[in-house]
Chains A and B, each alone.
Chain A
């Protein structure tokens, strides 16, 4: 959806990690939900919960046009040995300069090569790719399925 909002989410999560906060809320949008689920699968966050401005919902609440403005996504942060698990969340494709990759480019990038100005993949780094079907998946998954995509963000 909006990469501006995703950039804000990235900055917010980095700030929360530095402040060692246990829970944090981000705006409830389709892209944010896809990214949050991706982070949860990769093990960067401990929980993803839908909620309101005040806190996560204990019982499921239906999202309607009446309450949509107050809906948020609550993420549980992870820490180990005084260090955050999710320490860096940077955008690759930015609103002023989008980055699109073909399947062969993605394969080379996953192998460790530099892609134009995008720095090579680091050990333990996760990159989310948005495919043509507007599906947000991990880089290695995209390479397996031989899909083209937009390099959204890199997470460490």
Chain B
């Protein structure tokens, strides 16, 4: 990096180069110092107002020319611009993430380094003991991408819990089977199956896990009922779902009732024909609810415009003028 280049492209004065640049800079004769200053001022005037340039030059004068000449360039591109070993926590600059303050106390814990030692230990101990549901939520949020708090707030219902047997050469091996439905009561619903050899609780946990992984959106009309009537067949189970006016409630099979509750459906009428096997009814209803086409979707498909007559003719818009 020669002086000629520096003169031609003053922008390069700010750039970092290889170690030989310092050598070059040291070689620059002091006779050209004033010339250099003029060029630098002209360069600054290109971008800043004269008053700002004056303040910049004043700030620059605070640094000794020797120190500027001998400035060390970091070899590591991502290194910080200041010297620090990061082994000690600075009481002013370094703060730990604040824990959620207790609402009724209205008292916020200061930086951890300020708190007395006894209290510090107690807080650490609390952090390690996460409840089972919180652990589950944490792992699920990593697997699915949903918020941890959202997963803990989901309502889950064990629909089926029974023992199933497998005949092998060693005899009948029985294990526990669970079918769990999970929903946020606001349009999301998922079902999951789980099996465990020893404990039914573990089977339920596995099923809960699968259910959260299988969460999908259920289209709802006015956030309370389905779109029109649906007839669906799954295996030997035939499910007829009918939309009902507001206030009707959920008049359906107990399995469909639980699914509707978790999904956030408030008005529904259903009838199960042929087989009423709980597992198959649940799976049939799940498929039927996903089969729906919202009115907006239909309008998009057919290239039509949808007008909600109730809202157009009977709505009252207040003019705040």
Contacts and interface: CB of A to CB of B under 8 A. Distances in A.
A120 B269 CA distance: 15
Contacts of A119: 229
Given A123-B295, A124-B295, A78 B228 contact: no
Contacts of A122: 228-229
A124 B228 contact: yes
A44 B302 contact: yes
A43 interface: yes
A62 to B, nearest CB: 32
Interface residues of B, number: 13
A37 interface: no
B300 A80 contact: yes
A118 to B, nearest CB: 13
Contacts of A66: none
Contacts of B227: 123-124
B308 to A, nearest CB: 11
B110 to A, nearest CB: 54
Interface in B276-316: 293, 295, 297-298, 300-304
A60 to B, nearest CB: 26
A78 B301 CA distance: 8
A148 to B, nearest CB: 26
A80 B295 contact: no
Contacts of B221: 123
A123 B227 CA distance: 7
B223 to A, nearest CB: 16
A125 B230 CA distance: 13
Interface in B216-245: 221, 227-229
Contacts of B297: 81
Contacts of A83: 293, 301
Interface residues on A, range: 10 to 19
A125 to B, nearest CB: 8
B301 A43 contact: yes
B304 A43 contact: yes
A42 interface: yes
B298 A123 contact: yes
A85 B295 contact: no
Contacts of B293: 83, 124
A83 B302 CA distance: 12
A124 B229 contact: no
Contacts of A125: 228
Interface string A77-93: 01011010100000000
Interface in A22-48: 42-44
Contacts of A81: 297
- Chain A CB count within 10 A is highest, among B293, B302, B303, B304, for B302
A78 B300 CA distance: 12
A125 B228 CA distance: 10
Given A123-B227, A123-B228, A124-B228, A42 B302 contact: yes
A43 B298 CA distance: 10
A19 B298 CA distance: 20
Interface string B134-169: 000000000000000000000000000000000000
Interface in A74-110: 78, 80-81, 83, 85
B289 to A, nearest CB: 15
A43 B295 contact: no
A122 B294 CA distance: 12
Given A43-B303, A123-B295, 5 more contacts: A80-B300, A85-B302, A120-B229, A123-B221, A124-B227
19 contacts: A42-B302, A43-B301, A43-B302, A80-B301, A81-B297, A83-B293, A83-B301, A120-B229, A122-B228, A122-B229, A123-B227, A123-B295, A123-B298, A124-B227, A124-B228, A124-B293, A124-B295, A124-B298, A125-B228
Q: Which 6 A-B pairs have the closest CB atoms?
A: A43-B302, A124-B298, A122-B228, A85-B301, A123-B228, A43-B303
